[in-house]
A = this chain, B = another copy of it.
Amino acid sequence: MGLNFCFIGAGNLATQLSQAFRNKGFKITQVYSRTEQSAKTLADSLSTNYTTSVKDINKNADIYFVALKDSVFDEVLSQIDFENKFVVHCSGSLSLSALKSYTENIGVFYPLQTFSKTREVDFSEIPIFIESNSIQNEKLLLQIANEISGSVAVINSEKRKMLHISAVFACNFVNHLFTIAAEILKSKDIPFDVLKPLIIETAGKVQELEPEKAQTGPAVRFDENIINSHLNELKEFDDYQQLYRSISKSIFDHYNK
């Protein structure tokens, strides 16, 4: 498509998305990050230039992809004159209008995935959610998204926020339960490795079955003997005992309402 992109941000998402674009023939002309090491590492991997100064962000990119933490979003963008170029953010939680004081051409490009800098992901299966202020801009984002993914949809900011919340439950909170499981095992010198096949199968099951129908274990059976014995066993992990109790109760309530 012969388009030039500039990346504002060089974190996990910026790294994976810019590399996916580059692999599909888009040109990344520049990477900006406040952190020189991040900017340089990403720019090097893309064989492009970087800057840590907002003044040096170049003016001739076709689209500016903003992949910043929400907490520094306005602080960084308010220093850049985009000259009404097309600016697109990649955040699940920010609305489209978060960009409107910076340019007239605005959009959202939200890939629903968990990203790390060093773990490569297959973008072709990642759902990408698009939003824009005009039919023309929306069409351009759809074309770009369809180049890297087979699962692209237009969605408004309100729905995208719910998507993001659901992802927090299904990814961030799930990962924390893995952390808790690892800590409990460590207290008995058992390596986390023993849980890996179970974790893969738990994720695999809901690819085919609705999660509601995949539920097993003492809470859904309301097996009070086991639940109480587990709570007793967790007395040295006060915080996790509370979570055990409240998640078990939520499971019970879900199947008995």
Contacts and interface: CB of A to CB of B under 8 A. Distances in A.
Interface of A: 12, 69-71, 93, 112-116, 119, 121, 125-127, 151, 155, 158-159, 161-182, 184-185, 187-188, 190, 192, 194-212, 214-221, 223, 225-226, 229-230, 233-234, 239-240, 242-244, 246-247, 250-251, 253-254
Given A172-B216, A188-B162, A206 B178 contact: yes
B217 A172 contact: yes
Contacts of A185: 162-163, 166
A114 B205 contact: yes
A230 B162 CA distance: 8
B205 A119 contact: yes
Taking the full assembly, how many copies of this chain does it contain? 2
Contact of A200 (B163, B203, B240): B203
A202 B174 contact: yes
Contacts of A240: 169, 250
Given A113-B197, A173-B219, 13 more contacts: A93-B218, A119-B209, A159-B188, A164-B230, A165-B184, A171-B198, A172-B216, A176-B215, A179-B211, A196-B206, A199-B206, A239-B250, A243-B246
Which of A125, A194, A242 has the most chain B CB atoms inside 10 A of its CB? A194
Contact of A217 (B113, B171, B179): B171
A14 to B, nearest CB: 14
A184 B254 CA distance: 13
Contacts of A125: 197
Given A166-B185, A190-B163, A217-B168, A175 B206 contact: yes
